[in-house]
Amino acid sequence: MPPINPFLRRAQQDRVRRESEGLWRQRVCIEAIDGRTLVHEGRTYLQFASNDYLGLAQGGGSPTAQGAGASPLVTGHHRVHQTLEQRLCDLTGYEAALLFSSGFAANSAPFSLLKQGDRVLADKLSHASLVDGALASPATLRRFPHNDMNTLHRWLSDSEAPTLVISESVFSMDGDQAPIADLVTLCRTQGALSWLDDAHGFGVIGDAGLGAVEYARPDLLTLTFGKAVGAQGAALLGPGWLIEALTQSARHYIYSTALSVDQAQRVLHQLERLADPERRARLWRNVAQFRQAADAAGLTLTNTQSAIVPVITGDNATTLRVAQRLRSVGLWVPAIRPPTVPAGQGRLRVVLNADHTRDDIARLVAELKAAMQEAV
């Protein structure tokens, strides 16, 4: 029998309390007509709730352009937002979703569920937004060695405290993947809540490009729209009870202006384009070409399984010299140094995309080889 989920039990108790006190928050789906009026369930209302003080959220040079104007719990939850949330659920198999204006905001929200005595166990290489959120919460943060499921299992077994386990599907500085299925299964058997940030996986990894969910479905998933989707914003996906709990407690959702309607429409459009397998096939061909050519040139790469293929340069001075040399010949490749990566593991963070040509990649490898030889 699986352990009792302490977060579900807490959410159920919180809902009973909030409903009895008249504090249960519910979103209302609206359609804005102009700065004065909105439509809800077929009825038109003269509204005095939006923060669109100058009436600029509608139009903006295009008759169809539209911002948001308020928090999703005031007048910011538009029918387009509802459609996008449902589309994301249909793609990933989750029950519910919440939209945010950025991935950082989305990754700050779940920590609102934590209390004193709870634990957060996070992969050592988890994104800064996850670490910052955990440090700001009342829970105790502990960071396990990168992708080390044995240590995670031991730590999960040594306490019965409600525990949130955090990792990423694809790590942004190394380009490698988490053992997604193992992590989710381990959390489920130990009664912990699993959460994956799929920012660099969604649209890229998996046979259909759907990211982490093609390997396993964590309790909570972050999708961001500023990477493969080519838009802006983010979403948290999970079971209905968990998303409802976040609607009540996540200050980044309650008190922030909603993702603009324009951006939500753009994401919906981009999701259709994301389904095109040819672009993903071109991306992976480019990744394979770069890896093969870089290996032949004697460059040191990380063991990546993504479009992020870092070239290890070593100390800070070498890393900067190589990056500056590349820039001088018209190649823009960011230099990554501590504390973003460990000391002595500076790197050039090469990111391939589907639009790069074979000649582009050949030129990059040739210039990288020359720059490394000059820098040593």
Residue 339 has pLDDT above 80, yes or no: yes
Cα torsion 121, 122, 128, 129: sign: negative
Three-state secondary-structure class, residue 116: coil
Query: Tokens in use for 292?
Result: 């093969």
Domain boundaries, the chain: 6-274, 277-375
Q: Return the amino acid letter for 222.
A: T
Location of structure tokens 């569920």: 113
* Lateral strand order in the sheet of 335-336: 308-314, 346-351, 335-336
Of the residues 51, 112, 316, 353, only one is catalytic, namely: 51
Residue 168: active-site member: yes
- Supply the pLDDT for residue 33: 58
Of the residues 85, 118, 197, 219, only one is catalytic, namely: 197
Residue 150: active-site member: no
Mean pLDDT of all residues belonging to the chain: 90
pLDDT-derived band at 59 (thresholds 50, 70, 90) equals: low
Of the residues 77, 81, 127, 356, only one is catalytic, namely: 127
Of the residues 77, 78, 81, 200, only one is catalytic, namely: 200
Burial of 360 (0-12, 13-18, 19+ CB in 10 A): middle
Q: Is the pTM of this model over 0.85?
A: yes
- Supply the pLDDT for residue 276: 86
Location of structure tokens 């992969």: 123
- Give 277-375's CATH code, choosing from 3.90.226.10, 3.30.565.10, 3.30.365.10, 3.90.1150.10: 3.90.1150.10
Residue 182: active-site member: no
Residue 123: active-site member: no
Q: Calculate mean pLDDT across residues 11-38.
A: 83
The C-alpha atoms of residue 143 and residue 128 are separated, in whole angstroms, by 13
Q: What is the pLDDT of residues 279-331, one digit of tens each?
A: 899 999 999 999 999 999 999 998 888 999 999 999 888 998 999 999 899 99
Q: Calculate mean pLDDT across residues 69-80.
A: 84
Residue 356: active-site member: no
Q: Calculate mean pLDDT across residues 12-27.
A: 88
Of the residues 52, 168, 219, 244, only one is catalytic, namely: 168
Assign a CATH topology to domain 6-274: Aspartate Aminotransferase; domain 2 (3.40.640)
Residue 21: active-site member: no
pLDDT-derived band at 51 (thresholds 50, 70, 90) equals: low
